[in-house]
Amino acid sequence: PRVVFSGIQPTGIPHLGNYLGAIQNWVQLQDTASANDKILYCIVGYHAITLPQDPVHLETERFNMLASLLACGIDPSKSLLYNQDQVPEHTELAWILNCITPMGWLYRMTTWKSKLAVARNANSEEEVNESMLNLGLLAYPVLQAADILLHKSTHIPVGEDQTQHLELAQDIARAFNHKFNTDIFPIPQQLSTPTKRVLSLRDPSQKMSKSAPSEKSRILITDDPAAISAKIRGAVTDSNPDITFDPTGRPGVSNLLSMLAACTTESSVADLDSTAQLYRGKQIQDLKRDVADAIIARVEPIRTEYERLRKDLAWLRDVSQAGDQEARGRVGQTMSEVKKILGLARH
Ligand code: AQP
């Protein structure tokens, strides 16, 4: 049986990258799971607080994320959907894993390096070095490994930006198993979608991200048709008028083609060269119009469902509390096994 697990930070409404790179796959895995599989998705509040968060805002974002995931098709009768921050074993296991993870592994993470670069740019006046950033930010991927290993997860559907973190989780699982001569943790495998990486509409050298300053850089699953059309019309491409698929040389236009394919084809493998051929002799505006229409067709039902669900706070609370309770019930066994292995069993 498979244990499918993934998480998302409550740091804003999900964008098309989160949806096409991860959430859509979560729904598909949930809907095609066999009776023995376990499907778990969580909202990772403890990851969100590795950067400063306004508490009132964070509370709202946690509900927004819950409503977003439900609107995208996560079904609490098929998947266990819960809040990581309401299950203390996540941080308990993270502490244990902190104690076997060399800091060198963490300093190598590109996410850590980019957070450091952002901090340096924001404080260009003063010298910013690693020792001035918070420990939680460095340990972020260890908490992620704990999230995964706490459920003995086998399959992890995430976007390409998470590959390095997932490899670290595999290394930590192997290190724990080896150190204590056990096979308690399966080595988790990454599951990717064909649209592994959706790019920013303003700067196609970057991934689409919730935290990028420009709202025009991302399409939210709650954007209305007019907003989607405007953002796609403004998407940065290049000066070559031809429409060709070349992700390295022409990331902007290639991003439009891959979003189009992801929103129109039902099959899991999109042949982007042949999508590009359909636009031979046409203009970038023609492509942008079709991309916007395809995204609107995908997003509009989600947006409407989100609006409906977000008003039903009582139901959201019920779903969330039931999920948290079930999750707390599931993790005790693994934690007891881990503590026994360490010599920390209850007397
Ligand atoms: N641009 C992307 N393309 C494909 N997949 C993506 N994911 C994120 N951005 C893209 C995938 O979405 C899942 C949940 O992301 P997250 O919120 O936990 O992580 P993140 O990488 O921090 O996402 P953001 O949107 O960029 O948020 P901020 O700006 O707050 O850091 C993951 O599976 C991720 O791979």
Q: In the structure, what pLDDT confidence band is assigned to residue 270 with cuts at 50, 70 and 90?
A: low
Catalytic residue status for 339: no
pLDDT one-digit tens code per residue, 180-231: 999 999 999 999 988 889 999 999 999 999 989 999 999 999 999 999 999 9
Give the per-residue pLDDT at 179. Answer: 98
User: Is residue 51 within 8 Å of 12, Cβ to Cβ?
Assistant: no
Specify which residues 276 forms β-bridges with. none
**In the chain, what are the domains?**
3-197+313-342 (3.40.50.620), 215-308 (1.10.240.10)
**Rounded Cα–Cα distance for residues 275 and 308 (Å):** 35
Span 296-301, average pLDDT: 98
Average pLDDT of the chain is: 94
Query: Stretch 25-46: mean pLDDT, rounded?
Result: 97
Which residue has its alpha carbon closest to ligand 1 atom 2? 17
123 CB within 6 A, ligand 1: no
Maximum Cα–Cα distance for the chain, whole Å?
76
ipTM of the prediction: 0.95
Distance CA 41, CA 35 (A): 17
Counted residue by residue, the chain has a size of 347
Structure confidence at residue 91 (pLDDT): 98
26-30, 100-104, 109-113, 173-177: least confidently modelled range: 109-113
Among 115, 196, 231, 288, the one annotated catalytic: 115
- Judge whether 207 counts as a catalytic residue: yes
Q: How far is the CA of 10 from the centre of ligand 1 (A)?
A: 11
Predicted local confidence at residue 266, as pLDDT:
59
Q: What tokens appear for 305 in the block?
A: 């469902």
Among positive and negative, which fits the CA dihedral 17, 326, 47, 65?
positive
Model-level pTM?
Answer: 0.95
In the DSSP assignment, the letter for residue 190 is E
Establish whether 78 is a catalytic residue. Answer: no
**Angle, helices 251-264/284-311, rounded to nearest 10 degrees:** 50
User: 295: which residues sit within 8 A by CB, 6+ positions away?
Assistant: 16, 219, 228, 232, 259, 263
Could you give phi then psi for residue 41, rounded to 5 degrees? -130, 140
Element (H, E) at 80: strand 80-83
